[in-house]
Amino acid sequence: MFSKFLERTNLAAAVLPVITVGTATVNGIAIDRNGYISAGLAYIAGINPSVPTGFTVALKIQHSALSGSGYVDFITSIPTFGTAADLSAASVAKYFDIDLTGAKQFVRVVATLTFTGGASPSAIWAAELVLGDKNVEPAGNSVVYLAD
């Protein structure tokens, strides 16, 4: 059962840890979702060095037939979240289930962070996709690590 889970999932770093200063939009890296029909999207932020008076994060998923260009919006209905209190906490973690049915081969996460107030507001954050529901069996060359 455990090995079947590993055969049908794959973790992908959507946005590597980054410090975003001021309001900005960050395009994540291209992720090849070939064979996967769903994903879990995780947004993680650490303690913020300069807490603003307001803060929101808007996430969306874009897709393309090519890894480097041609991205268009695929899912824009992910709820916007965030408060200034989130940034002063030890950490912020949000998780969303994503249906990739009908998406082209490559997907990426796009995050728009909006700050209000504060002196040089910024956020330290990352996003991950856990691809799931692989519709084909692996070639048999994967390694499963077990407890010692």
Please state the domain extents for the chain: 2-134
pLDDT of residue 5: 53
Show the 3-state SS of the chain.
CHHHHHHCCEEEEEEEEEEEECCEEEECCCEECCCEEEEEEEEEECCCCCCCCEEEEEEEEEEECCCCCCCEEEECCCCCECCHHHHHCCCEEEEEEEECCCCCCEEEEEEEEEEECCCCCEEEEEEEEEEEEECCCCCCCCCCCCCC
Taking the chain (148 residues) in runs of 10, the rounded mean pLDDT of each run is 57 82 91 92 79 83 95 94 68 88 95 83 87 68 48
pLDDT of residue 125: 87
Residue in 34, 19, 23 with CA at minimum distance from that of residue 104? 34
pLDDT of residue 14: 85
CATH number (2.40.50.140, 3.60.21.10, 3.40.50.2300, 2.60.120.680) of 2-134 reads: 2.60.120.680
